[in-house]
């Protein structure tokens, strides 16, 4: 009995690698391997940080325009070292040419809106983000007091936004 238990302890399943093999592997539009989503950290964003570095706060990936290639959505802010810097949200695409760098193809949220992004997701071609903001200039910038649910979908050759009303965050 001890030999059976000891032998069973030596027989373990292969380690999971997170990769799929065989016919379950996702495929691209031509049936080949699926293209990788653009790397959000390999882009210089059109965000004026006045010398401070840019920081990617959140990303989400998915095929937003139905072309069979995934895009990346990135929430980016200036890394000023303190406070709650506003975010901008950008859509990145990867050109199919070999060694092409990813590029910004759309801006969904400008940093001038002075909102912070949380819960950034992409599902079924819909970009969704919770946006924290401020009800007035008197609200301290470290304590947002409003929350909006914003959604964007690629329709008619551009991103269209659905923005729900602000609600107090209770903070």
Domain extents in the chain: 34-168
pLDDT of residue 85: 86
Q: How many CB atoms lie within 10 A of CB 70?
A: 20
pLDDT > 60? residue 114: yes
Q: Give 42-53 pLDDT, tens digit per residue.
A: 999 999 998 899
Overall average pLDDT of the 113-124 stretch: 94
Among candidates 126, 142, 127, 51, which has minimal Cα distance to 89?
A: 127
- Nearest Cα neighbor of 132 from 91, 73, 119, 152 is 119
Q: Which has more confidence, 84 or 152?
A: 152
Q: How many CA atoms lie within 13 A of 84 on its CB side?
A: 16
Q: Say which residues have a Cβ less than 8 Å from residue 131's Cβ, sequence separation at least 6.
A: 109, 113, 115, 116, 117, 118, 147, 148, 149, 150
pLDDT tens digits along 18-28: 333 333 334 45
Token match 């699926």: residue? 34
In this predicted structure, what is the pLDDT of residue 9? 39
Answer yes or no: is pLDDT of 37 > 90. yes
Token pair 């551009």 in the structure block, residue: 158
Q: Do 122 and 61 meet the contact criterion of CB atoms below 8 Å apart?
A: yes
User: What's the confidence (pLDDT) of residue 35?
Assistant: 76
- Per-residue pLDDT reduced to its tens digit, 40-89: 999 999 999 988 999 999 999 999 999 999 999 999 999 987 777 889 99
Q: Is the pLDDT of residue 143 over 80?
A: yes
What residues contact residue 95 under an 8 Å CB cut-off, 6+ apart? Answer: 101, 102, 103
What's the rounded Cα separation, in Å, for the pair 149 and 83? 23
Burial of 6 (0-12, 13-18, 19+ CB in 10 A): exposed
């Amino acid at each position: 009995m001890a030999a059976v238990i000891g032998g069973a302890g030596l027989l373990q399943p292969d380690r999971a690698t997170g990769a799929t093999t065989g016919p379950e592997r996702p495929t691209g539009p031509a049936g080949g391997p699926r293209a990788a989503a653009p790397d959000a950290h390999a882009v210089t964003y059109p965000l004026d940080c006045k010398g401070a570095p840019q920081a990617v706060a959140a990303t989400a990936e998915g095929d937003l325009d139905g072309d069979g290639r995934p895009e990346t959505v990135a929430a980016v802010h200036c890394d000023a070292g303190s406070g709650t810097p506003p975010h901008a949200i950008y859509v990145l695409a990867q050109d199919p040419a070999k060694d092409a760098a990813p590029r910004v193809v759309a801006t969904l949220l400008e940093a001038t809106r002075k909102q912070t992004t949380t819960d950034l997701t992409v599902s079924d071609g819909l970009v969704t983000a919770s946006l924290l903001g401020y009800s007035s200039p008197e609200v301290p910038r470290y304590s947002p007091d409003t929350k909006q649910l914003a959604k964007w979908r690629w329709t008619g050759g551009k991103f269209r936004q659905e923005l729900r009303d602000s609600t107090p965050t209770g903070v």
